[in-house]
Amino acid sequence: MAMLAEAAVAGLLVVAGVFGLVGSYGLLKLPDLMTRLHAPTKATTLGVGGVLIASMIHFAVFEGHLSFHELLITLFLFLTAPITAHFIAKAWLHRNARAADLPPPGGAKGWATFEAAPDDHRRSDPAAPPKHEA
């Protein structure tokens, strides 16, 4: 049993390390931000998730107390990773893309990214998309 647990912990740690490294290497290697957003998700889910599961097994078998902190951290990361990715993608669109280059969103409203605040003067250049008027 202890041998099996040791093998499981070691395997999970190796897998987690490889995925963490692959995620950060992808962040360095991929060509632009929208593709780069893809790479760190590997580090978040499989990398940190593997380390957390390894730590759960390790503490349950070798230290003799089962703890659920790890599940909390995993849950928190799984909840927040899409939100941060969405925010970063939206900020990148806001700064680097023009609405004319994007496909129509297909609704009554325009792209929410370009709906600037009323006193926002940074996007007042002529190439900017028309402001959304309700």
Partner 1 sequence: MIGYALMFAFACFGVALLLNLWRIAAGPGVADRVLALDTMVINAIALLILYGILEGTSVYFEASMLFAMTGFVSTVAYARFMLRGDIIE
Q: Where in 86-115 is the site for partner 1 (CB under 8 A)?
A: 87-88, 90-92, 94-96, 113
Among 4, 10, 103, 106, binds partner 1 (CB under 8 A): 10
Distance CA 69, CA 56 (A): 9
**Closest-CA residue to 130 (of 87, 95, 109):** 109
Which span sits near partner 1 by CB under 8 A: 85-93, 102-110, 126-134? 85-93
Number of chain residues interacting with partner 1 (CB under 8 A): 57
CB–CB of 65/59 below 8 Å? yes
What distances in angstroms separate CA 26 from CA 14, 125, 132, one per listed residue? 18, 35, 37
Residues 6+ apart with CB under 8 A from 29: 39
Q: Where in 16-75 is the site for partner 1 (CB under 8 A)?
A: 16-18, 20-21, 23-25, 27-28, 33, 36-37, 40, 43-44, 47-48, 51-52, 54-55, 58-59, 62-63, 65, 67, 69-70, 72-73
CB–CB of 115/131 below 8 Å? yes
Round to the nearest angstrom and report the end-to-end CA distance of the chain. Answer: 65
Q: What is the smallest separation between the CB atom of 100 and partner 1, expressed in angstroms?
A: 20
**Closest-CA residue to 63 (of 132, 102, 15, 5):** 5
Q: Which residue has the tokens 């390790």?
A: 58
Interface residues with partner 1 (CB under 8 A) are: 6-7, 9-11, 13-14, 16-18, 20-21, 23-25, 27-28, 33, 36-37, 40, 43-44, 47-48, 51-52, 54-55, 58-59, 62-63, 65, 67, 69-70, 72-73, 76-77, 80, 83-84, 87-88, 90-92, 94-96, 113, 116-117, 120, 122
